[in-house]
Chain A
Amino acid sequence: MSRRAKIFWIAVLVVFAGGLFYLRSLARRVFFEPPPHSDESAKARLSEAVLQSGAGPNETAVLFFPSLIGRALVAESRPIKWAPSEADRVRQVLLALAEGPSQRLGHPLAAATTVRAVFLTLDGTAYVDLSSDLVSGIYPGIEAESLAVYSIVNSITTNIPAVKRVKILIQGQEVDTLEGHADLTEAIVPDPTLVKGNP
């Protein structure tokens, strides 16, 4: 075999090997790698399990659930072992809301809702990133949607005084509304006038 032929064959082999390597990595990416969100979801659920087990002394959390009749929020108390960090406490409140009320009241969050992330900023804004499952638990309409939003906001700000307003994100994205009604374009301050019994 001539020198030129050898060089030619080596070049062909290199190209072929490169192609195979590329195909292999492509196949791995397409067929074997898990979708990125499944790992994220697993982490979120693991942290939820840890939070639910609790660590501190027994205290009381006040949660607000939508009334089924009339435009109002109804307060419910329940024992809770607060986590040390405020971000984790926000998660605890959201998980408790997702568990639902003990009385016959509305559900502000579907049970399947995952708390993807919580961030607190120095100006007292809590950014809560929820999974899109959230909307499946909300009754349709202006009243029902706004009550669900204020149920989340009032519950968080009442239990974690450092939080003054709440910005709700869905699947990591800013959204206009949940289901076409409640304005989520900015961080929401609590509305205490909605709570039954408050003036």
Chain B
Amino acid sequence: MQSLNRHLPGSWRKLLLSLALLISGLGLLLWPARTLRSDNFVFYFPTSRRVIPLEVIDSVQYLPLLPVLNLVGTLNGLTERRNNLKVAFGDSHIELHDGDPRVRLDKKTLILAAPVRVSNGKWMVPSDFLTTVLARLTSQDVEYQIGTNRVFIGNIKPGSFTVRMEQESSGARLTFQFTDKVTVHTESTNGKWVMFLGDHPIQPLEQSFHFQNPYISDVRFDDQDGLPKLVITPSAAGMNFYPELLEGGKVLQAEVSKPAQPPPQTPKAPPPATPSSTATTAPPVAPGPATGTAAQTGPATPAGPPLPVVALDAGHGGEDNGARSRDGVLEKELVAQLVERVRQALLTTGKFRVVMTRTGDANVTFEQRAVAANVAGAAYFLTFHAGDLGGASPQVAIYTYQSPGLASPSSEGGANPFFVAWDRIQENHIGQSGKLAQTIEQDLAVLAGVTVDPATAAPERTLRSVNAPAVAIEIGSLSPDVDAGPLTDAAFQLHLSSIVAEALSALQAGGA
């Protein structure tokens, strides 16, 4: 710096300094960014569990190599050069190179899904190292599902669970069916209910479940601290929560309800005791701002058998407006209005509960729509759309699902009923969906002044993953060439809604 001061005039010094700053600024700006975030990875052993922080670099999960090896065995030696690491582990020798996905294990070369990296001086390996390399290093079983944050090492049979949500008149009921017995300890933290599931390792089928429901927003499985637990987020504050273990600890049922007015004071009646049952009833919990349990009593007890659920889907939504009429009516708004009328008509019958896959102007994916219906155990699924139907308005067309990959739509169902992928589950219901479509079509025939197209099959994407008899109902025409007046008419919508409700009632009663 002294040399710079001595040999350069002041203006040159400033210029050079500015240029250096500019170049280094640009360099920093354009340096390829690495996406980096931290999470935990849980190692389950038969009698213990350990948590190791993992890093996600460029969308790949990385684990620190040496802590992982230390967990499962003994390091006998380590030689680290600039870009190369040699590890003596038990009787084996491992050699890795920075930036190289190949790992040399004794005389074999194994290839990882992503290159080995050195991050903050630590040798990091992608998580498939667990199955590609670690499984060969140890004599113990290594069970790891790519993409998850947990591995089971040794003789461990992790359990799993399914979730079902049923909406009731004054609340919702969550039912968790576990493959193994669990014990439950419930706490309320930051407005959420946390149910600790004891010591048994759990590998969930899905990490989280989302609901569009006035009582429950989502259910998430979490074991980031090594303790398996379910975190339930209520849709609103002030709900009551009554978890209860049934069937010897294999079924966990949780009632969520709005507090009654005035608040109930009577204690909850204990569940009927059975000699073999180890069921425990956790006290009701209300979510509060701080950790702790708030004793609320008087659970909502369901009266009679649950009513069948109808899932109603208003097509499009959010950024997807769908079709637009000449006078500016948007499909997403029109069908939301119609679906609300159908909901009212169905509730008026007193024979159904209703689940809405979209409430408000929200972006909802096809999968989320199907999951909402499937998780609720819907007996029927109706998706509503509006589009160009060619003829005069108003028109109604009803569609069942036509699999695009099957040569000809069959009324008997898919090509192979034994092996239908989960996302094509509707193929198992084609026959019942056809019956549902025909029933609605026949009932609509009485609707004066409305053209009803014969029910047919179409590859409607919304229906593809619905695990219930399902149809798409399209009203028309809603297109840039015509006004939407006949479709926005309240009388038309009310008639259509009541006919749909009557058709479902008739079908449910077996009188279709």
Chain A interface residues toward B at CB < 8 A? 1, 4-5, 8-9, 12, 15-16, 19, 22-23, 26, 67-71, 139-146, 149, 165, 176-177, 179-189, 191-193
Contact = CB atoms under 8 A, between A and B. Distances in A.
Nearest to A150: B459
B461 A71 contact: no
**Centre residue among A26, A142, A183 by max chain B CB count within 10 A:** A142
Contact of B391 (A69, A176, A179, A188): A69
Interface in B310-347: 315-316, 320, 322-324, 331
Contacts of A23: 23, 26
Contact of A142 (B390, B399, B405, B407): B399
A177 B476 CA distance: 20
A142 B397 contact: yes
B19 interface: yes
B390 A182 contact: no
A184 B404 contact: yes
Q: Is the interface of B mostly helix, strand, loop or mixed?
A: mixed
Nearest to A146: B458
B446 interface: no
B460 interface: yes
Nearest to A186: B405
Interface in B1-45: 3-4, 6-7, 16, 19-20, 22-23, 26-27, 30
Given A142-B397, A186-B405, 16 more contacts: A4-B3, A8-B7, A67-B390, A69-B391, A70-B390, A71-B397, A71-B456, A140-B322, A141-B478, A142-B458, A145-B387, A182-B458, A183-B403, A183-B459, A189-B406, A193-B409
A68 B458 CA distance: 17
A186 B404 contact: yes
Given A144-B388, A146-B458, A183-B459, A5 B3 contact: yes
Contacts of B453: 70-71
29 contacts: A4-B3, A8-B4, A19-B19, A19-B22, A19-B23, A22-B23, A22-B27, A70-B390, A140-B323, A140-B387, A141-B386, A141-B387, A141-B388, A141-B389, A142-B399, A142-B460, A142-B474, A143-B390, A143-B397, A146-B402, A176-B366, A176-B461, A181-B387, A183-B459, A185-B461, A187-B404, A188-B459, A189-B406, A191-B408
Given A140-B331, A142-B474, A143-B388, A180 B461 contact: yes
Nearest to B24: A19
Nearest to A145: B387
Nearest to B27: A22
A72 B16 CA distance: 73
Contacts of A149: 404, 459
Nearest to B20: A15
Contacts of A19: 19-20, 22-23
B174 interface: no
Given A19-B19, A142-B397, A183 B404 contact: yes
A82 to B, nearest CB: 26
A74 to B, nearest CB: 13
B97 to A, nearest CB: 29
A5 B1 CA distance: 11
A5 B7 contact: yes
Contact of B387 (A1, A143, A188): A143
A71 B477 CA distance: 14
Contact of B7 (A1, A22, A69): A1
**Centre residue among A22, A71, A179, A188 by max chain B CB count within 10 A:** A71
Contacts of B472: 142
B385 interface: yes
A193 B385 contact: no
B277 to A, nearest CB: 46
A8 B16 CA distance: 13
Interface string B465-482: 000000010101111000
Contacts of B464: 183, 185
A181 B461 contact: yes
Nearest to A178: B461
**Centre residue among A22, A67, A140, A149 by max chain B CB count within 10 A:** A140
B461 A144 contact: no
The 5 closest A-B pairs by CB, nearest first: A141-B387, A140-B323, A19-B23, A139-B388, A183-B459
Contacts of B404: 149, 182-189
Given A143-B388, A143-B474, A182 B19 contact: no
Interface string B444-458: 000000000100101
A140 B331 CA distance: 10
Given A141-B479, A181-B385, A22 B26 contact: yes
A15 B289 CA distance: 57
B385 A142 contact: yes
B237 to A, nearest CB: 35
Contacts of A12: 16
Contacts of B399: 142
A191 B405 CA distance: 10
Contacts of B331: 140
B390 A69 contact: yes
A188 B403 CA distance: 8
Contacts of B408: 191-193
A184 B316 CA distance: 17
A185 B461 CA distance: 9
Nearest to B454: A71
A179 B479 CA distance: 13
Contacts of A189: 404-407
A103 to B, nearest CB: 15
Interface string B75-98: 000000000000000000000000
Contacts of A8: 3-4, 7
Given A142-B385, A177-B461, A26 B26 contact: yes
B396 to A, nearest CB: 12
Given A68-B390, A140-B479, A181 B405 contact: no
Interface in B421-446: 423
A140 B16 CA distance: 61
A136 to B, nearest CB: 11
B16 A143 contact: no
A16 B476 contact: no
A23 B472 CA distance: 57
